[in-house]
Chains A and B, each alone.
Chain A
């Protein structure tokens, strides 16, 4: 069985400052991990994915995530937040075709 824990339900940053959204996972297998973003009243969009290649994964819009097996973590980062980054972010673990979603982190960006 697999599970995902997003450690912060809300994160607030100022525009231009770094973003860190934390995610820990549990999986019986070598996991495939994803980050999705959901803007208000929109569907989910894939930001990036880890599938056992490089441990540092680069995604769209300047986001990246590092897979750390020893810490069972897959935190999402961005060096400089933009107002358009305000959204809800989901960390996801996949086993076969089954996706298990974390509870989500709402990112707020202050001007």
Chain B
């Protein structure tokens, strides 16, 4: 298996623009997680899905952030409009079953200027 796939690996955009980050989980995994990593706050869980349904989005910072999972093999995290403070590395992870090991993707490094 190719593991969790994220695209793009790097994104540089201007403040106010819409940003869409993409994730393909490991085939057969029924949980998908979005995390954000910054120097100031470390790694934070933003939202997670089970069987394509959002279960807990309490970590989503504000309404500018939205996440969808239209099918079992694809999820997006969208920021609209983007702000410089959104600059971070965004990780997607997936797991099989409740509480099992999470496998992380390589991350998307977002820079908002």
Q: Name the prevailing secondary structure of the A interface residues.
A: strand
Q: How far is the CB of A76 from chain B (nearest CB, A)?
A: 17
Count how many pairs of residues, one from A and one from B, have CB atoms less than 8 Å apart in the complex: 44
Q: How far is the CB of B103 from chain A (nearest CB, A)?
A: 8
- Which A6-29 residues sit within 8 Å CB-CB of chain B? none
Q: Are B104 and A45 in contact (CB under 8 A)?
A: yes
* Nearest-CB residue, chain A, relative to B44: A101
A46 located at the interface, meaning its Cβ lies under 8 Å from any Cβ of chain B in the complex: yes
Q: Which residues of B contact A99 (CB under 8 A)?
A: 33, 45, 102
Q: How far is the CB of B42 from chain A (nearest CB, A)?
A: 5
Contact partner of B99 among A42, A45, A96, A102, CB < 8 A?
A96
Q: Are A96 and B98 in contact (CB under 8 A)?
A: yes
Q: Which residues of B contact A61 (CB under 8 A)?
A: none
Q: Interface range on chain B: under 10, 10 to 19, 20 to 34, or 35 or more?
A: 20 to 34
B12 located at the interface, meaning its Cβ lies under 8 Å from any Cβ of chain A in the complex: no
Q: How far is the CB of B23 from chain A (nearest CB, A)?
A: 12
- Please encode chain B, from 52 to 63, with 1 for each CB lying within 8 Å of some chain A CB and 0 for all others: 000110000000
Q: How far is the CA of A99 from the CA of B35 in the complex (A)?
A: 10
Q: Are B105 and A97 in contact (CB under 8 A)?
A: no
A32 located at the interface, meaning its Cβ lies under 8 Å from any Cβ of chain B in the complex: yes
* With A43-B91, A90-B43, A103-B42: A97-B55 Cβ-Cβ less than 8 Å: yes
Q: Are B43 and A101 in contact (CB under 8 A)?
A: yes
Q: Are A94 and B99 in contact (CB under 8 A)?
A: yes
- Please encode chain A, from 87 to 111, with 1 for each CB lying within 8 Å of some chain B CB and 0 for all others: 0001000101111011110000000
The 8 closest A-B CB pairs, nearest first, are A43-B104, A101-B43, A44-B104, A43-B106, A103-B42, A43-B105, A43-B107, A46-B101
Which residue numbers of B lie inside 8 Å of A, CB to CB? 4, 31, 33, 42-45, 48, 50, 55-56, 91, 93, 95, 98-99, 101-107
